[in-house]
Structure 1
Amino acid sequence: MTSINFVKGHGTGNDFVLFADPDGTTELTPQEIVWLCDRNFGVGADGLIRVVRSENIIDGAQSLAEDEAAEWFMDYWNSDGSPSEMCGNGVRVFAHFLLTEGLAHNEPGETLVVGTRAGVKDVQRNRNGYQVDMGRWKLDGGEPLVRARDLDVARPGLGINVGNPHVVVALSSVEELERLDLSSAPQLTPEVPHGANVEFVVPGDPPVADGVGQVRMRVHERGSGETLSCGTGAVAAALAVRHWAGKNAPHHWRVDVPGGRVAVRMFPTEEGEHVALSGPAELVFRGTVTLP
């Protein structure tokens, strides 16, 4: 039997089981990941993060080719045992784990470089916790119709890719948002290849305060179900609402999710517009578990 020392962490309620495997010697099976993430029989989490040196995992080779400073790779898996390209809340928790465990060092204002399946991400500490440069984004996946339980009619969604695929749906009121039943996956027509995270959003009250846009959001994550927060989903939600609002919309956003609040900022770079995500990251307990 295999035993692992783990740490439980979360970013605005989006929770993860993390364990350090610097040499890449402990590859868990999808079944073991499902068991660990099970809230009744395992530790319980929205996903699992293996903390491994980029040189010791096949997917890390591309990260090192992109930036040789990407010493550490975030090997992220959904709670259903499927791998995921990217997790915005997970990157912040991953960075916090590295710094807390002494696996990396980062002074305020310095950048910590993290490898992911969606490319290298730059992380900095700030007053909200951590800021992640999520890189470039694109409209992707068209405008599929979205059906969900307790949604009276199908609504058009907007496909956005921020390293992983999302479909964002605008609702008419907070009441409509709150009564949604996201216990099962929303249905997309046409289907998105390999699936997508689906965000349901309504503008804040007021929609803009002190030059900052405000959005409320709920999400059904591909491979995990409804979660209290989704970092890449919050980014997609802010981008979608800005897109719908037009050219005078702000480039700074607050996104309220059931687990708290994150901040999203769009900014120009030489290669095109980037988007950054800021929010808290916490480690809440640690333990040792023997896999079945």
Structure 2
Amino acid sequence: MKNFFVKSHGLGNDYLVVNSLDINFELTEKNIRTVCDVHYGIGSDGILVLVDTDKADFGLRILNPDGSEAEKSGNGLRIFAKYLFDYGYANSASFTIDTLGGVVQAEVIEQEKGKARTIQVDMGKAIFEANKVPVKSDQPECLDEELYLDWTSYLINCVSVGNPHCIILKDELSVDEIKQVGTHIENHPKFPNRINVQFAKVISPDLVEILIWERGAGYTLASGSSSSAVAAMMVKKGLTNRNLTIRMPGGELKLQIDEDWQIRMTGEVREIASGYFSAELLDDLNS
């Protein structure tokens, strides 16, 4: 299984999964960018790496396509959980995963032909304290606070679900608009660790539609951590019920927010391909 990879997607958000013990190239920023590039590599929204840990059943590193490392990814966690289950690493349908954003409980809810199809992940606790998100604010929590860009401004709401999120409520959602402003908000000085950005439109107390600009990746069809952050913020602001659906261009996720702000997410994952890094690509990565 040397240099073996699996490529899967969660609602159109796709990742490569590798075992750190089975690859013979370094995961440098340059190599991560190359592997994730659709023209020079395999193409992916990121790389999920199985690593050793003494904090949980399995350890996970989440690498963004720009070479940076993410604390947590809801779609990434479900994809990683499917990989662990499908390829025999996990000996039960329920197990724990250690991430930079904390230890996560994962459970295979539905199987198809012996493979995981629907996976539930406990995403941890929503944190609203501004200094823990982190976001620079004069208030204890960043809610409906004005963020100024050179040509416009937005009312922002910030929360951490193991990684930082900036949520902007909109009457109408525009892909062109979030693509235009996403990078400017992500890299705004107000956010010490940069930030993920979501435009959100409340459809009903049980349904919210969102668009996503993902830190380190750009415009993204779907994101589990973004869905978790939006769901928690909608409950915080009293705009939805605690059990709700988040709809994205890539599909829908089910979210549950309990009284202690613990988040549970459920959604499908599908494998796209599996294979081996070619000798020529490995030569390029090791040159």
Structure 2 length as normaliser, TM-score?
0.83
Confirm whether residue 112 of structure 1 aligns to residue 86 of structure 2: no
CA distance in 2, matches of 1:81, 1:131: 28
Question: What secondary structure is seen at the aligned counterpart in 2 of 1:245?
Answer: coil
Pick aligned residue for 2:68 from 57, 82, 87? 82
Corresponding residue of 2:104: 121
Change (3 A) 1:177 1:243: farther
What amino acid does structure 2 have at the position aligned with 1:12? L
Say whether residues 1:242 and 2:235 are aligned partners: yes
Counterpart of 2:86 (choices 92, 97, 100) is: 100
Question: Corresponding residue for 1:261?
Answer: 252
Secondary structure at 1:103 match in 2: coil
2: CA distance, partners of 1:11 / 1:122: 18
1:275 matches 2:273: no
State the SS of the aligned residue for 1:8: strand
| Residue 93 of structure 1, CA deviation | 0.5
Alpha-carbon distance between aligned partners in 1 of 2:149 and 2:218, rounded to the nearest angstrom: 13
1:182 to 179, 183, 196: 179
Q: Which amino acid aligns with 2:11?
A: T
- Counterparts of 2:162 and 2:47 in 1: how far apart (Å)? 18
Identity %: 27
Cα distance change of structure 1 residues 147 and 99 upon mapping to structure 2, 3 Å threshold: farther
- 1:9 aligns with 8
Question: How far 1:24 moved relative to its partner?
Answer: 8.7
Going from structure 1 to structure 2, the CA distance change for 1:267 and 1:243 (only over 3 Å counts) comes to closer
Give the total of aligned pairs.
259
**Measured at CA, do residues 24 and 7 of structure 1 come closer, stay the same or move farther in structure 2, by a change above 3 Å?**
closer
Secondary structure at 2:14 match in 1:
strand
Gaps of 5+ in 1: 55-60, 65-69
Given candidates 65, 77, 96, the residue that maps to 1:91 is 77
**Are 1:137 and 2:126 an aligned pair?**
yes
Q: CA deviation at 1:25?
A: 7.2
Of 200, 208, 212 in structure 2, the residue corresponding to residue 215 of structure 1 is 208
Change (3 A) 1:237 1:186: farther
> Using a 3 Å threshold, how does the CA distance of structure 1 residues 170 and 218 change in structure 2: closer, same or farther?
same
CA deviation string 1:189-224 (max 9, x = no partner): 6520010000101012xx13xxxx201111111111
Amino acid at match of 1:284: I
TM-score normalised according to structure 1 size? 0.81
SS at match of 2:179: coil
Within-5 A mapping of 1:20-99? 20-22=19-21, 27-54=26-53, 61=54, 64=55, 70-99=56-85
Structure 2 unaligned spans of 5+:
111-116, 136-141
